[in-house]
Amino acid sequence: MPFDFELITEKLQKAVKSIKSNTNSFNQRVLKLIDIYQTTELGFVEQKRTEGKHNWISAKFLDENSIYYEANKLPSDYRVIAVDGSHIDVDRHSPIKCVVLNIGTVIFTYGSEPQAILTNSPYTFIGDSEINIFDSSTTSRSPLQGNLMGVKRAVMELTNLADTLEQYADGIPTLALIDGSLILWSILGEQEFVIKELLQDQFLEQLNRIKNLAHQNVILASYLSYPDTSDVINALRICICNENCSNKNPCTEGCVLVNGIRDRDLFIKFLPDNARSALFESTSNVIEKYYNKGNEISFYYLRIFDEIARIELPSWVSNDPNLLQLSHSLIIDQCEKGMGYPVSIMESHEQAVINTNDRENFKMLLDRLLAEQGVNYNTSQKDRSKKFRWV
């Protein structure tokens, strides 16, 4: 049955028209927020935020907020190491429960001896013991699939990054770059034994391994393109909102003004090309509850190729003015080489990606191995109906 576009077009047209008519008012509100951002004193923002009368996750201001910074010159020799991952989730219709994870790693050396290394490392998690997280004190378990597999992938990416950095760190400035966030937001809501194993025992352990390389001029950063975050806007909102308002009971001063505006909307109008914003610190629950000292996550916004990116750094990087400046100039350079997006992340993604053909080949390999062992492959009727389409 062909898809009936007519049925959805009318609603889409209305939505597009309303975006257009709201643009002027949106821009005016952003300009007003920029004015507030530039004129509100740093001390006042922090005072209002720490009063804790509103529970929005808002940025801690670490810097003079009206400031922006231009990128410094690049060092003559430097290196960028980036990782990215891709995975094939558990097929619940298959008789063998298996996850495939592929981590792509790139090592780019620039300067007097330019060199590039592109690699990828596949991993498999097979059987109950490997595709579940177990609670040692009870019989509880959480399967590594969906959101949790995403968390495991982040852990494995960071592990590969730490392994590579330990092998290569030799004192020349090295940017260790990952795609996404250093804040494992998505683990919130999981059971405590899962958080302990994946976040505290594994993810933070890798952060600590990388932190131990700080003396070798290693800079850890994560890159979020076109971020949806509103930490800075929320901090401003606290300063201008009526004290009794909440998300359920919005006030006319702050809540209406900031409605639908994200940090990127403010910084795209405020920052010049290639400049970075002041420095902020995330006050996310997951950091306050689990991240240890030295691994608090700071961030700044960067304007590059008419886009705002959010750069997250552990505090051991952001507290060191030299490493902080280097993170800025090296990321700008990476974006210029990648025509708007860090070339190292782009290439690590290319190394990691498991394309449709690979996925099909993996399924065929599994089917063949099962058939060779005479395993009766009783897949579900639903799976069969999708595989063998018929009339």
Task: Name the minimum Å distance from CB 109 to another protein.
Answer: 7
Q: Which is nearer to another protein, 23 or 115 (CB)?
A: 115
Q: Which is nearer to another protein, 138 or 356 (CB)?
A: 356
Q: Which is nearer to another protein, 86 or 202 (CB)?
A: 86
- The three-class DSSP label of residue 30 is helix
Report the phi/psi class of residue 294: left, alpha or beta, with left for phi > 0 and alpha for psi in -120 to 50.
left
Task: Name the minimum Å distance from CB 111 to another protein.
Answer: 9
Q: Which is nearer to another protein, 79 or 303 (CB)?
A: 79
Residues 379, 109 contacting (CB under 8 angstroms): no
Q: Which is nearer to another protein, 243 or 350 (CB)?
A: 350
Kindly give the residue spans of alpha helices, DSSP state H, lying in the chain.
6-39, 42-51, 147-168, 192-194, 204-211, 231-240, 254-258, 263-270, 285-290, 315-318, 321-337, 343-352, 356-372, 381-387
Nearest residue to 228 (alpha-carbon basis) of 57, 348, 343, 60? 57
Task: Name the minimum Å distance from CB 88 to another protein.
Answer: 19
Residues 173, 326 contacting (CB under 8 angstroms): yes
Please, what is the angle between helix 6-39 and helix 263-270, to 10°?
A: 60
User: How many Cβ atoms are within 10 Å of 213's Cβ, its own excluded?
Assistant: 18
Task: Name the minimum Å distance from CB 333 to another protein.
Answer: 9
Task: Name the minimum Å distance from CB 304 to another protein.
Answer: 16
Point out which residues bind another protein (CB under 8 A): 106, 108-110, 114-116, 118, 337, 339, 343, 347, 350
Q: Which is nearer to another protein, 237 or 349 (CB)?
A: 349
Nearest residue to 340 (alpha-carbon basis) of 260, 250, 274? 274
Task: Name the minimum Å distance from CB 118 to another protein.
Answer: 6
Residues 377, 370 contacting (CB under 8 angstroms): yes
The two tokens of residue 116 are 């590039």
Q: Cα separation of 275 and 72, whole Å?
A: 10
Task: Name the minimum Å distance from CB 355 to another protein.
Answer: 9
Query: Which residues does 350 contact at the CB level (< 8 Å), separation at least 6?
Result: 104
Kindly give the residue spans of alpha helices, DSSP state H, lying in 68-203.
147-168, 192-194
Q: Which is nearer to another protein, 119 or 242 (CB)?
A: 119
Q: Which is nearer to another protein, 106 or 232 (CB)?
A: 106
Task: Name the minimum Å distance from CB 110 to another protein.
Answer: 7
